[in-house]
Structure 1
Amino acid sequence: MKGSSTLVLLCVVTVATITKTTTGIDIHGGLFIFGDSLLDVGTNNHFDDSTARADHPHYGIDYPDSVSTGRFSNGLNSADLLASYMNGYDFSPPPFLTLVQNPDTFLLQIIRGANFASGGSGILRDTGREKFIRVVPLCEQIQQFATVRGNMSQVLGNGTAELFIGMSHYIISVGSNDFFEKQNSLFRNETQPQQLIANLTASYAIHLQNLYDLGARKFGIIGVPPLGCCPMERYINYQMGGNGSCVEAMNELAQVFHASIESLLQNFSSINQGVVYSLGNTYNIIMDFIDNRRASESGPNVLGFQVVETACCGNGTFNAETRCESGSKLCRNRNHYIFWDEFHPTEAAARHAALTLAYADGQEFVTPMNFSSLAKA
């Protein structure tokens, strides 16, 4: 990673630093994205043995040229949309594992950022490994970022690299898979909810501290959604003799965990100098979509969502009995659906959620500041 690409990168960083200092023009650092399938843009495509992949139809049907990129969406996902609203990018930065395949351009591209998110992964190291065989847990994603940090320090010197890393933004969405994986043991009382939440919060704190120690300062944290309202959970409710409503026990876990992470971030920012953060209340955002649909049954829905229970792509009850694939039923108007498959949002829902995270005022959906304010902090 030497030669002309190194010189260009050095010039870019140096010019950006000088411009920021002398003109006051807002120069952003890179965008580094961590977490699970909400933000994965193709990490798991690199693993032949991973079953948590979305590089096949009907995924990507509304992506440019209808390409199945590995995004768990019909089109763009939350990583793409937040990258657009926060940093002015057209798409998320590429997967880290894609960037390292091109060593000659690695340093030139890494200045824009990288996406480490891996579908099926979680806060805990072992989450997803039994079900999906190969995923990249959050701890390993941070180790990959440490490699990036080391490469920058070698080329630019530690001071310049530290400045760039400190200017950059760090988006994290993780936790849902940890709860889904523990669901059966929770319902059988083999796992205590309070202990699980305490363990997840403590592990999350370690991950954030590790990122901080590597130089990260600006954190955008996406909270877990109403887990019990996704089509798969409604199908579970139906199988157990219910009417297909949300699984409230899972929703309660999501709410308690959000409160725990909020306390964690308050403490984290108080003991680590220079930390700024945004915490998105994805639970409230998605429930607002669902409640708007209920309230609009006698009139138009201002958000445009008409189907809140059933997945757009899949088969069976709530289109959740099988995964979305080439032979699955596919809805025609994806913009009317909140859920694309049994777990993930459509591009339309992800766009509304990202707009809320980026620009919402008040504390209902994001605290203590929205994501666009974080980008300028």
Structure 2
Amino acid sequence: MGPVFIFGDSTVDVGTNNHLNCTARSDHPYYGIDYHRSKATGRFSNGLNPADTIVELLGGYKRSPLPFLALVEDHSNFTGAILNGVNFASGGAGLAKDIGQVFGEVISLEEQIQQFATVRGNITALLGESRGDLLLQSSMYILSIGSNDIMTYIFTHSMTPELFITNLTDTYAIHIKNLHNMGARKFGILSVAAIGCCPMARAYNGGPCGDEPNDLARAFYVSVQSLLQNFSSTLEGFKYSLGNTYNMTMNIIDNPIGSQFKDVKSACCGNTTQRSVSDCTKGVYLCPNRDEYLFWDAFHPSQAASKLAALALVTGDDPEFVSPINFSSLRRA
């Protein structure tokens, strides 16, 4: 089985943004408080994030492959490390190129795929064309992106919701085709979660979940599902697994008793009331029982939530949460 390559936004960023001049960063306390030696690594989590928990369950990894920019900075490690996979994800990134500019420098999905093209060139130079191609075709490509596009749309309403979802899906299609043209065959896709229920959206909405972001997240899932079904019959060798993180989130929020979480509404870090939310920085409120919180900060899941999601994606068999196959079946395919 080939390496794992990870693309996306802050849900799977493991330190890309530490290397950028941007404000979307988490390389400061209390981020990483439950990571090894309480190190703030640039993960938007109290510990591991979905990129880590997914690859650990897939096997062969303790945590996510290193960020591309970290490998570029430490070039001595570059050629050996890329054969183990690379993480290109950047907090704030979107499917559309201009998403995230409010944070300063952010690596859009288009640029992440250009970085992958560099890695691909290095792999084929190392292994030769045919062995390199075989490795890339057996590799897994995990993508988690789209929530920043939806949140940006909500503040601009630049077109009808239907046209927005169509345009967003068309943009996704271009990115997936570009990866496919470079040899990618196995796509593990994480849909947009119930972002209307994150602490920031609740605070904005005065307590309850926001309907509009949730409606768009659901519509985008349906549209992406249809795109992937189409690609599996039109693109050579294309295989996919689609994770419904929207349903996963709502399942926990609607049935908190059945889950390990005692708080499914507020942020563990920086938030003490339903109606106010603050940045997660040293000195703000920090919950003592972090494994009982669904949300770590105003936007992102806790390490405990990431582990639960990874189980559903990698080894689960509930089509409500992952379909048509799970991530481990995709890896072996």
Shorter-chain TM-score above 0.5:
yes
Distance 1:128 1:103 in 2: 28
Partners in 1 of 2:74 and 2:204 — Cα distance?
44
The 8 Å contact of residues 312 and 319 in structure 1, kept in 2 or not, is answered as: no
Q: How many angstroms does 1:157 deviate by?
A: 1.6
Pairs within 5 Å for 1:38-77: 38-47=11-20, 49-77=21-49
Does the alignment pair 1:360 with 2:316? Answer: yes
Question: AA paired with 1:308?
Answer: V
- What is aligned with 2:269? 313
Q: What's the counterpart of residue 326 of structure 2?
A: 370
* TM-score using structure 1 length: 0.86
User: Do residues 114 (structure 1) and 86 (structure 2) align?
Assistant: yes
Residue 250 (structure 2) pairs with residue 287 (structure 1): yes
Confirm or deny that 1:229 pairs with 2:197: yes
Residue matched to 1:7: none
Q: Distance in 2 between matches of 1:319 and 1:208?
A: 39
* Residue pairs, 1:25-36, within 5 angstroms: 28-36=1-9
Aligned counterparts, 1:1-377, within 5 A: 28-47=1-20, 49-129=21-101, 131-186=102-157, 190-238=158-206, 244-293=207-256, 296=257, 302-315=258-271, 317-318=273-274, 321-377=277-333
* Structure 2 residue ranges without an equivalent (≥5): none
Per the TM alignment, residue 191 of structure 1 is displaced from its structure 2 partner at its CA by 2.6
What is the aligned-residue identity percentage?
53
Contact 1:310/1:319 (CA < 8 Å) preserved in 2? no
Q: Using a 3 Å threshold, how does the CA distance of structure 1 residues 175 and 320 change in structure 2: closer, same or farther?
A: farther
* Counterpart contact for 1:311–1:320, Cα < 8 Å: no
How far residue 273 of structure 1 moved from its aligned partner, in angstroms, is: 1.2
Q: How far off its partner does 1:316 sit?
A: 5.4
Please tell me the root mean square deviation across aligned C-alpha atoms, in Å: 1.1
Structure 1 residue 334 displacement after superposition: 0.4
Q: What amino acid sits opposite 1:203 in the alignment?
A: T
Once the two structures are superposed, what CA deviation does each residue of 1:75-98 show, in whole Å capped at 9, x if it has no partner?
Answer: 000000011011331110000111
Per-residue deviation at 1:320?
Answer: 5.0
2:259 partner letter: L
Scaled by the length of structure 2, the TM-score of the pair is 0.98
Kept after mapping to 2: 8 A contact 1:319/1:341: no
Is the 1:311–1:319 Cα contact (8 Å) retained in structure 2?
Answer: no
- Structure 1 residue runs of 4+, over 2 Å off? 102-105, 315-321
- Show CA shifts across 1:102-138 (max 9, x none): 2232111111100000000000000001x20111000
- Seen in structure 2, the aligned counterparts of structure 1 residues 319 and 94 have a Cα distance that, compared at 3 Å, is farther
- Separation in 1, partners of 2:314, 2:129: 32
Q: Displacement, 1:151?
A: 1.2
Alpha-carbon distance in 1 for matches of 2:45, 2:63: 14
* Higher alpha-carbon deviation: 166-175 or 359-368: 359-368
Q: CA deviation at 1:72?
A: 0.1
Listed as ranges, the gaps of 5+ residues in structure 1 are 1-27, 239-243, 297-301
1:319 to partner: Cα distance? 7.6
How far does residue 249 in structure 1 lie from its aligned partner after superposition? 1.6
